[in-house]
Chains A and B, each alone.
Chain A
Amino acid sequence: MKHASDLELIELVAGRLPADRQEAVEAHLAACDECSRRRDAVRQTWDALGDWQIPAGRDLAPAVQAAAAREAAASSRRLPLLLRLAASILIAVGAGHVAGRLAAPALHPVRPATAADEEAAAESLSLGVLEQVSPTGLPETLLGVEEPPDEEVS
């Protein structure tokens, strides 16, 4: 068998090689001083790492549950606030729309125009100038006044 790989030696020392593989590697180590020394070095490192243990501390459950409950409460407070805000906007828009519809006739009363209204409007726009004879003939075009046909020159 070829030499054991570094990873095989690590897993052998960790006790996590599959049984058939473990048997094969151990058989090789029994006959190979070089791999046997490498295995010993891995074991020395493995055992040294095992010296560093972390003692158990306090129970975290009460603090975790309290923090989670605070978060859940804050989140449930945020949701109604958003809902209230959305509802306020909808109500404001709806009320504004209805108020606008109701107020419109009072603010802008609509009645048919009378002849006096038309005269006042024509005067304010100085439409009288259009009645004057213009060399361009534009007023006649705008007012729809028919020009008399040119007299044929005989």
Chain B
Amino acid sequence: MSTEPPDEKLMADLAAGDMAALGALVRRHQDALVAFAARMLGRRDLAEDVAQEAFVHVHRAARRYRPEAKFTTWLYRIAANLCRDAQRRASRAPASLDEETAPGRDPGPDPLEARERIERVRRAVAALPERQRLAVTLHRYQGLSHREIAQVAECSESAVESLLVRAYAALRQALADLKE
């Protein structure tokens, strides 16, 4: 049985010039990173560009990388900064639902209702202040711990906990009337 090399080993290989290691890192993390960027930006059309740019940053910084924090928290920090830049550049015109979202569960007998639910969620997340959106996205969708979120957001764990409580409270209010 073969075991996949850990991210840190792939980073060491990449620093030594092994471009195949870069490909392995991209394939391992691209779906999560694109999803993270799509939720941070509120649109899918820019998310792949941000994710691609983040991986090019990883290649550029490979020799300076020190595995003091988990590779994924470092990667999300790069992507979060790139999302901030992309958001500043991009026009605020929302992308169409068709290209940016997909129902997470069986849409049921009424696909239109399912699409409307998703759009409500997307708007509620987009309406959060940026740091709350970052904390809740990393917590709800990426499954990061408070400590890992603190490393990405470059703040304390208690600050993260406060961000999470406020973010979930705002989302509860915005989505309270959605049917189960």
- Say whether B26 contacts A60, CB under 8 Å: yes
A71 to B51, CA, bound (A): 17
Interface size bracket, A side: 20 to 34
B residues less than 8 Å from A41 (CB atoms): 172, 176
**Chain B's nearest CB lies how many Å from the CB of A127?**
74
A residues less than 8 Å from B27 (CB atoms): 59, 61
Q: Is chain A's interface secondary structure helix, strand, loop, or mixed overall?
A: helix
Q: Tell yes or no: A112 within 8 A of B by CB.
A: no
A11 to B33, CA, bound (A): 23
In the complex, the chain A residue whose C-beta lies closest to that of B119 is: A52
Q: Tell yes or no: B104 within 8 A of A by CB.
A: yes
A45 to B171, CA, bound (A): 7
Residues of A at under 8 Å CB distance from B? 6-7, 10, 14, 16, 41-42, 44-61, 63-65, 67-69, 71-72
- Say whether B103 contacts A53, CB under 8 Å: yes
Closest 4 CB pairs of A and B: A53-B104, A54-B35, A68-B59, A61-B26
**Chain A's nearest CB lies how many Å from the CB of B82?**
13
In the complex, the chain B residue whose C-beta lies closest to that of A5 is: B165
Q: Tell yes or no: B117 within 8 A of A by CB.
A: yes
**Chain B's nearest CB lies how many Å from the CB of A53?**
4
- Say whether A48 contacts B178, CB under 8 Å: yes
- Say whether B104 contacts A51, CB under 8 Å: yes
A residues less than 8 Å from B161 (CB atoms): 7
Q: List 6 A-B contacts (CB under 8 A).
A: A6-B168, A7-B165, A45-B172, A48-B121, A60-B34, A60-B48
Number of interface residues of B (CB under 8 A): 48
Q: Is chain B's interface secondary structure helix, strand, loop, or mixed overall?
A: helix
B residues less than 8 Å from A54 (CB atoms): 34-35, 38-39, 44, 47, 100-102
- Say whether A49 contacts B140, CB under 8 Å: yes
- Say whether A61 contacts B176, CB under 8 Å: no
In the complex, the chain B residue whose C-beta lies closest to that of A41 is: B172
Q: Determine which of A7, A44, A60, A64 lies in contact with B180 in the assembled complex, contact meaning CB atoms within 8 Å.
A: A44
A53 to B52, CA, bound (A): 20
Report if A7-B118 is in contact (Cβ < 8 Å); known contacts: A60-B52, A68-B56.
Answer: no
B residues less than 8 Å from A44 (CB atoms): 172, 175-176, 178, 180
CB-contacts of B22-57 with A (<8 A): 22-23, 26-27, 30-31, 34-35, 38-39, 44, 47-48, 51-52, 55-56
- Say whether B103 contacts A51, CB under 8 Å: yes
A69 to B17, CA, bound (A): 10
Report if A71-B59 is in contact (Cβ < 8 Å); known contacts: A10-B168, A52-B118, A57-B48.
Answer: yes
